[in-house]
Amino acid sequence: MPLAGLNFTLRPASALASPFRVLVAFVLLSIPVTTLLYRTTSRLLALHASSTPQSRKATGKMATKKKIAIMTSGGDSPGMNGVVRACVRMAIHLGCDAYCIYEGYEGLVRGGDLIRKMEWQDVRGWLSEGGTLIGTARCMAFYERSGRLAAARNLVAQGIDAVIICGGDGSLTGADRFRAEWPSLLKELEENGEFTAAQLEPYRHLNIVGLVGSIDNDLSGTDATIGCYSALARICQCIDLIEATAYSHSRAFVVEVMGRHCGWLALMAGVATGADFIFIPERPRPDNWREEMCSVVEHHRKLGKRKTIVILAEGAIDRQGNRISPEMVKDLLADPKGLGLDTRITTLGHVQRGGTAVAYDRMLATLQGVEAVKAVLEATPDTPTWVITINENKIVRKPLMEAVQATKKVAQAIKRQDWDEAMALRDTEFSEQYKSFLMTTAVQINHEMLLPERERMRIGFINVGAPAGGMNAAVRAGVAYCLSRGHEPVAIYNGFAGFARHHGDAPLGAVRPFDWLEVDGWASKGGSEIGTNRELPSESGMEHIANLIETYKFDALFLVGGFEAFHAVCQLRKARDQYPSLCIPMTLLPATISNNVPGTEYSLGSDTCLNELVEYCDKIKQSASATRRRVFVVETQGGRSGYVATLGGLSVGASAVYTPEEGVTLDMLAADVRHLKEVFARDKGQSRAGRLILINERASKVYNARLIAEILREEAHGRFESREGIPGHMQQGGVPSPMDRCRAVRLAIRCIQHLEQYGRGVPNRVKNDPMSATVIGIKGASVVFSPVQKVEEEETDWPNRRPKSAFWVGMKDIVNILSARPKFVPQEPLLTGRKAKDVKRGIEDYD
């Protein structure tokens, strides 16, 4: 008999074991209120039901299954479904019961069937869904104590041990308030006679973990919120489209973007698209902003630019705190007495929230969801309430209260008009990118940054290896920085091969000065505008290259490229003993879709590649909906690094991932075939989308995507079909992702700053300083320069052209856990005896 407001169904007492029956009878007699009686009985029955031998087996020492509830709250953001999927599956994997609270705090306050138990299959395919499938709502009742009391009542009644809340700063503020009030709420429930002290005892400590789901990226303490890069991608797509029409008609566009009090979306969109001017709430322009904007736009037009893009955050204000509206900006640009530009306003609105999550948000949602479940299970009454954050490349737990308070301080600082404080309270990337934006937009206008003549350098820019998204953005930012400092940036076309063979001067030779008007348009361009080539200096002729560097009087070299570029820097450094002209500082900004450059955990282009791969996989998965029982074996690029396959697998929810690091064996394939058969046997048609296996192009010399697809087809005996899919060079991407573009800007500027420390003509200092030949990288939570000598000697797996240790290797386990792939132990005979039982049990437990 289902009861209103309750999630459980009463079972006949005869179904219970006898000691348990006694206990239930005792509890029933001791509690007077009928509703409470039902609630308590339900709780006990649920506890009993969940304490099966199977659950005890799965949880080890855990006596009863913990119940973990997940909810999404506040404004929706792409990636929230990925969070729910990861939390539900990880909770089940760790032997807990997973619940979803539908409709945000509204569901928590109303309880009943808005709090539902979730099974493994319920979240299948959720990674590729936009918005939040469990709903979200703004809930006025939760602002009141009575609403929070109802929420506490529902949690205790349902026996929920922990709650994971994914939302923006409002939702997390609410969570923090709820947590702070929890003891008094329990006291009230006890005093009201709704629960006894004994019943409340297990819930004395409210176990909450926060995840930041928001497109605004407005929470302090984390570099990115789940959804912000998807929103940024949508904004940049729209601006890229607008640019074409703006160029055609020589128009100006004022684009208003979301973000409430946070200017992150406007700032990053400005950096990624190379906009002419931006307005953000944290840093209102000086009082003469009207003149300033008009003079910047006028300067750009005089240089020959045919289009003008001004980006305005919805919270944009002037120094007096008055709102700056798109209409005000438009009127200025269109003023016939001033610039007189044909100007249009585009307010992007809710398209920014729409659509599916980009690869980064799916990865963040998955990794942070997994971390949140671990955090709730590890929590003790002494641990603070955590919020899961990311700093550069590292998932970090931080005290929720501190993050919420720091976020509030930004709004307070803006209100007080303390702009320095507002900027300082955002993360370091924010203020760094703001400076980058100002510098690139004010090239040849602002002369404040110019160095004295004697410190100005002639810097060679060269791309090496295959093209990767963000290479052009990096060159553009490097050139902009050089120009603002008075350095002379010089393009070396077509890598070392071009340098060696076509070394005449401009206009036809490989060594040419940059034309800023042309370079300024490269912010969003894919490929490599100055051309790239895989040839190493040793292949071009080291002596020849050394002579050319002398001939062209380079004071420094800035390389952008992949593993070949890294190899090139190593060769140039080693050849310094023989060729003094090579005693110049040189630094490499890694750019390759394979993300296999030692010295960094992230290479430009790898994010673009993952987005292309995810899009491809989503489409082919969808194409299976007519047939339903289909497995796609997708071959990914990545050289001998399994990064793309693994992160792609994490982002699309692959059933299996094959990497060169692990290899492919017949046993492995046999285990996966068996697993897939089981999966399809259990499939009740919840989702018609196909399943995916990702295999890196070099995972095996024999088992390639086609062969694996054929093996699967043969072994499936008609239970399911299989096809191979090879996206190939599509993975290099057309337009680079905003993340690749923004990081390109930030890292390129850092590279030139690093080079300029050396100044001109100090060969001895350069030769003896390991930091004069470096690779810039993101390592854990920091951006660092590493000396190539150390990296090549200690961190490089040369035969396999990849780093010796890769930070992402452990993520493969998460892909496996979340797809319930049975644990495979290599070097075992085919599925016989104990092993076969383990595999079978694995499927039963999780599928």
Catalytic residue among 97, 161, 216, 276: 216
How far apart CA 766 and CA 583 sit, in angstroms, is: 6
Give min distance, CB of 74 to ligand ADP, in A: 2
- Nearest CB to ligand ADP, comparing residues 83 and 252: 83
- Nearest CB to ligand ADP, comparing residues 231 and 294: 231
Q: Is 171 in the site for ligand ADP (CB under 6 A)?
A: yes
Residue 170 assigned ligand-binding role: yes
Closest CA to 276 of 160, 518, 522, 440: 440
Give min distance, CB of 231 to ligand ADP, in A: 13
Q: Is 78 in the site for ligand ADP (CB under 6 A)?
A: no
Q: Is 79 in the site for ligand ADP (CB under 6 A)?
A: no
Give min distance, CB of 324 to ligand ADP, in A: 23
Closest CA to 84 of 97, 69, 95: 69
Asked if 7 contacts 117 with a C-beta cutoff of 8 angstroms, the reply is: yes
Residue 166 assigned ligand-binding role: no
Residue type, 77: S
Single out the residue of 73, 81, 154, 484 in contact with ligand ADP (rule: CB under 6 A): 73
138: exposed, middle or buried (Cβ count in 10 Å: 0-12, 13-18, 19+): middle
Residue 449 assigned ligand-binding role: no
Q: Is 262 in the site for ligand ADP (CB under 6 A)?
A: no
Residue 352 assigned ligand-binding role: yes
Single out the residue of 128, 173, 343, 595 in contact with ligand ADP (rule: CB under 6 A): 173
User: Which one of the spans 138-146, 221-229, 546-554, 564-572 is the region binding ligand ADP (CB under 6 A)?
Assistant: 138-146
How far apart CA 562 and CA 465 sit, in angstroms, is: 6
How far apart CA 745 and CA 675 sit, in angstroms, is: 45
How far apart CA 28 and CA 334 sit, in angstroms, is: 77
Q: Is 605 in the site for ligand ADP (CB under 6 A)?
A: no
- Nearest CB to ligand ADP, comparing residues 226 and 482: 226
- Nearest CB to ligand ADP, comparing residues 219 and 788: 219
User: Which one of the spans 5-13, 166-174, 198-206, 637-645 is the region binding ligand ADP (CB under 6 A)?
Assistant: 166-174
Give min distance, CB of 176 to ligand ADP, in A: 8
Mode of pairing for the β-strands spanning 97-101 and 115-118: antiparallel
Residue 453 assigned ligand-binding role: no
User: Which one of the spans 136-144, 321-329, 340-348, 456-464 is the region binding ligand ADP (CB under 6 A)?
Assistant: 136-144
∠ CA 377-382-386, nearest 5°, is 55
Single out the residue of 122, 169, 662, 672 in contact with ligand ADP (rule: CB under 6 A): 169
- Nearest CB to ligand ADP, comparing residues 214 and 637: 214
Asked if 600 contacts 782 with a C-beta cutoff of 8 angstroms, the reply is: no
Q: Is 174 in the site for ligand ADP (CB under 6 A)?
A: yes
Residue 534 assigned ligand-binding role: yes
Closest CA to 271 of 741, 733, 596: 741
Residue 216 assigned ligand-binding role: yes
Residue 801 assigned ligand-binding role: yes
The residue with its CB nearest to ligand ADP is: 170
Give min distance, CB of 213 to ligand ADP, in A: 8
User: Which one of the spans 56-64, 170-178, 415-423, 739-747 is the region binding ligand ADP (CB under 6 A)?
Assistant: 170-178
* SS3 labels along 243-266: HHHHHHHCCEEEEEECCCCCCHHH
How far apart CA 379 and CA 374 sit, in angstroms, is: 9
* SS3 labels along 444-494: CCCCCCCCCHHHCCEEEEEEECCCCCCHHHHHHHHHHHHHHHCCEEEEECC
- Is residue 342 annotated as part of the catalytic site, yes or no? no
Single out the residue of 177, 553, 574, 767 in contact with ligand ADP (rule: CB under 6 A): 177
Q: Of residues 398-417, which lie at the interface with ligand ADP (CB under 6 A)? A: none
The two three-digit tokens of residue 640, written as one number = 């001998």
Residues in contact with ligand ADP, total (CB under 6 A)? 17
- Nearest CB to ligand ADP, comparing residues 109 and 709: 109
Q: Is 225 in the site for ligand ADP (CB under 6 A)?
A: no
User: Which one of the spans 81-89, 163-171, 433-441, 589-597 is the region binding ligand ADP (CB under 6 A)?
Assistant: 163-171
Give min distance, CB of 326 to ligand ADP, in A: 23
What is each CA distance from 689 to 64, 200, 361, 651, 720, in whole angstroms? 35, 44, 21, 15, 13
Q: Is 214 in the site for ligand ADP (CB under 6 A)?
A: yes
Asked if 386 contacts 373 with a C-beta cutoff of 8 angstroms, the reply is: no
Residue 731 assigned ligand-binding role: yes
∠ CA 360-366-368, nearest 5°, is 95
Asked if 103 contacts 73 with a C-beta cutoff of 8 angstroms, the reply is: no
Residue 251 assigned ligand-binding role: yes
Single out the residue of 139, 186, 297, 839 in contact with ligand ADP (rule: CB under 6 A): 139
* SS3 labels along 711-774: HHHHHHCCCCEEEEECCHHHHHCCCCCHHHHHHHHHHHHHHHHHHHCCCCCCHHHHHHCHHHEE
Single out the residue of 143, 250, 323, 455 in contact with ligand ADP (rule: CB under 6 A): 143
Single out the residue of 116, 138, 767, 841 in contact with ligand ADP (rule: CB under 6 A): 138
Query: Binding marks (x or -) toward ligand ADP, 96..135, rule CB under 6 A?
Result: ---------x------------------------------
Give min distance, CB of 170 to ligand ADP, in A: 2
Give min distance, CB of 142 to ligand ADP, in A: 4
Residue 320 assigned ligand-binding role: no
Q: Is 170 in the site for ligand ADP (CB under 6 A)?
A: yes
- Nearest CB to ligand ADP, comparing residues 25 and 140: 140
Residue 290 assigned ligand-binding role: no
Q: Residue 163: beta bridge partners?
A: 69, 208
Single out the residue of 74, 130, 270, 521 in contact with ligand ADP (rule: CB under 6 A): 74
Mode of pairing for the β-strands spanning 488-492 and 308-313: unpaired
Q: Is 168 in the site for ligand ADP (CB under 6 A)?
A: yes
**Helix, strand, or coil here: 69?**
strand
* SS3 labels along 586-649: EEEEEECCCCCCCCCCCCECHHHHHHHHHHHHHHHHHHHHHCCCEEEEEEECCCCCCHHHHHHH
Q: Is 637 in the site for ligand ADP (CB under 6 A)?
A: no
Asked if 801 contacts 563 with a C-beta cutoff of 8 angstroms, the reply is: yes
Beta carbons within 8 Å of 135's beta carbon, 6+ residues apart = 72, 102, 103, 104, 107
Residue type, 407: T
User: Which one of the spans 69-77, 293-301, 360-368, 374-382 is the region binding ligand ADP (CB under 6 A)?
Assistant: 69-77
Asked if 559 contacts 530 with a C-beta cutoff of 8 angstroms, the reply is: no
Omega prior to 585 cis, within 30 of 0: no
Q: Is 167 in the site for ligand ADP (CB under 6 A)?
A: yes
Feature table: binding site for Mg(2+): 169
Positions in the binding site for ligand ADP (CB under 6 A): 73-75, 105, 138-139, 142-143, 167-171, 173-174, 177, 214
Feature table: binding site for ATP: 75, 138-139, 168-171
Feature table: binding site for substrate: 214-216, 251, 258-260, 314, 344, 350-353
Catalytic sites, residue numbers:
216
